[in-house]
Amino acid sequence: MKIMEYSNTSAEEIFARGISATGVEDIVADIIADVRKNGDKALFKYCEKFDNTVTDCLEVTDEEIEEAFNAVDDEFLRIIKQAKQNIYDYHKHQVRSSFVVAEKDGIVLGQKIIPLERAGVYVPGGTAAYPSTVLMNVVPAKLAGVKEIVMTTPAKEGKINPVILAAAKTAGVDRIFKVGGAQAIAALAYGTESIPRVDKIVGPGNAFVAEAKKQVFGIVNIDMIAGPSEILVIADGTCSAKTVAADMLSQAEHDKLASAVLVTDSRKLADEVAEQIEAQLRILPREEIARASIENNGKIIVADNIEQGIEIANTIAPEHLELCVDNPFDYLDRIKNAGSIFLGKNCPEALGDYYAGPNHTLPTSGTARFSSPLSVDDFVKKSAFTYYTKEALGAVCEDIAYFAEKEGLSAHARSALVRFDKAGF
């Protein structure tokens, strides 16, 4: 584990993000073109090639969903129902209302909030199963009033992990398809014989999924280009090294490209965390993945104080930021750039992944500088509306015309003046 003193290290070393996936653009472009041209035929081919699934029916049946739901243990069903409720209770505060402004005679202005007709939710299913992703993406869409929610997820040898289907049933997904990867994104963007075209695609995925979302943006809307996973822990010298190391590994185990960073004001804690990471890696079931993440992208930065640590965090703008200090609210206003903030020593990032309520679909790769977590807002659009009586327009038509002429747009000007025989024709 790399340990570096902030005062003696270049900014390039401090803020380097390590290895990233390359060489996927052309592969993804070919897949998208194939799906766009050949529809379901292409999807059947990719299901067999990538997931060892031979099928002539892509949609999950009601019987398959019921079978999966019954196969999941009661304790897990209880937990996902409570998680769903927590997510609902948090996101309901994000629901916006349309508004009307009628403060001037003869003028009515306003904004309509309109739910999307159809949303596509992508749920990964490669090295792990993510029922939490189902809940985090579907619950805000349901709150927004989306008419139809379509989910795609890979089926290994024709089977989707039962916990994914149980979460989908619990959350209220309308239709589910056994398709993963870039081909699923293409199908959602363009539509095929089986999979309907959606208005927006949400949900995380590997480098191929992220690239596919990037390439179809504009044909369809997307939530963000998310991934790989990141965590930055700010910890003072009173923290438990065992706890900090465990929190860092909670993200490292996601992906070999994931990033886990500790910023601390204690060299002693830095050394202890490095030792703990090595010890915990040896007993981690996903050791190979987590070790590659730590070796390529992990680092420990020793800062002069916690305030300097927050400056570093604001520059990195991490997906997940843990502030492991005794009085975290004293520092909250100073944190400007983070996807989700976990306050105090009793708030592991995993709490946000599964249970607390705030969304876990978050901006990564420094994009927390200008973007936000997934929310109800992602599943609505807004239309402005304007109404003027003839008298109200008459009072301002010459101002409008004057403004338009300043921009060199005479037809604009005339469209206001013509209603009062002032256009000169």
Q: Would residue 360 show up in a list of annotated catalytic residues for this protein? A: no
- Answer yes or no: are the C-beta atoms of 257 and 297 closer than 8 Å: yes
| Strands lying side by side in the sheet with 175-177 | 175-177, 148-152, 118-122, 200-202, 221-222
Taking residue 221's Cβ as centre, other Cβ atoms within 10 Å add up to 18
Rounded Cα gap, residues 130 and 122, in angstroms? 11
Residue type, 168: A
Exactly one of 64, 211, 319, 349 is catalytic; name it. Answer: 319
DSSP element (H, E) containing 21: none
Please name which of 251, 235, 221, 217 lies closest in space to residue 319, comparing C-alpha atoms. 251
Helix, strand, coil share (%) of the chain residues, nearest 5: 50, 20, 35
Q: Which amino acid is at 265?
A: D
Cis peptide before 154 (omega within 30 of 0): no
- 350 to 51, 77, 123, 165, 334: CA distances (angstroms): 29, 18, 18, 21, 23
Rounded to an integer, what distance in angstroms lies between the CA atom of residue 185 and that of residue 193?
Answer: 15
Given the residues 91, 230, 272, 320, select the one marked as catalytic: 320
Give the rounded distance of the alpha carbon of 315 from its chain centre. Answer: 20
Alpha-carbon span 155 to 47, nearest angstrom: 8
* Tokens 């739910």, located at residue: 115
Q: Are 149 and 142 in contact (CB under 8 A)?
A: yes
Residue 321 phi, psi (nearest 5): -125, 115
Residue 260 backbone dihedrals phi, psi, to 5 degrees: -125, 120
Strands (E), 50-106: 99-104
First to last CA, the chain: 78
Active site residue 91: no
Q: Which residues are catalytic?
A: 319-320
